[in-house]
Amino acid sequence: EVRPYSCSTCGRGFNQAANLRSHQATHSGERQLCSICGKSFRYLKNHVISKHPHEAAAGELPPRHAIISCPVCRKKFPNASQCRTHQLQHTGEKPFHCQACGKSYGRKAQLRAHAATHGGNKPYRCSVCAKTFSLASSFLRHRSIHSGATPYSCQA
């Protein structure tokens, strides 16, 4: 399958520009608004499938997003690939290994993010304390220590 749109942060490819934009929001910390309940989420597609399955089945998600259930815990996923990745949590398998240090990860994206820490390139600099980061996500998490803001709220 041709995936002409690629993420400049992690290299993941997408077949539609809209999917790339949704994905890029996960790196920036930007949240997407659910049109069903009005709450915002980093991973809107996963939220709709897990919290609004009837709406998802009725077409709230594009038709190409089938709903696949994990055979172990019955959690639902938009595609077989995400379901397979999820199943690694049940087995504890970490098939992606860093060539530089040997650390292992359950997802390729985790390995890609980790590999960036070996490159020495740290383009993200905190304007408050001058600490530098190789990953945008680490930088965004760090910034909250100065403001006292927390990027996540308790849903319990």
What is the DSSP secondary-structure string of 14-82?
ESSHHHHHHHHHHHHT--EE-TTT--EESSHHHHHHHH-HHHIIIIIS-TT---EE-TTT--EESSHHH
Q: What is the pLDDT of residue 9?
A: 82
d(CA 60, CA 143): 35
Helix (H) or strand (E) holding 91: helix 80-91
pTM: 0.40
Q: Which CATH number fits domain 96-147: 1.10.760.10, 3.30.160.60, 3.40.50.300, 3.40.50.720?
A: 3.30.160.60
CB atoms within 10 A of CB 54: 8
What percentage of the chain exceeds 70 in pLDDT?
A: 81
Instruction: Give the per-residue pLDDT at 153.
Output: 61
Q: What is the pLDDT of residue 104?
A: 93
pLDDT confidence of 150, banded at 50, 70, 90?
Answer: low
Quick: pLDDT tens for 27-79.
776 666 677 777 777 777 788 888 887 776 666 554 444 467 788 888 877 66
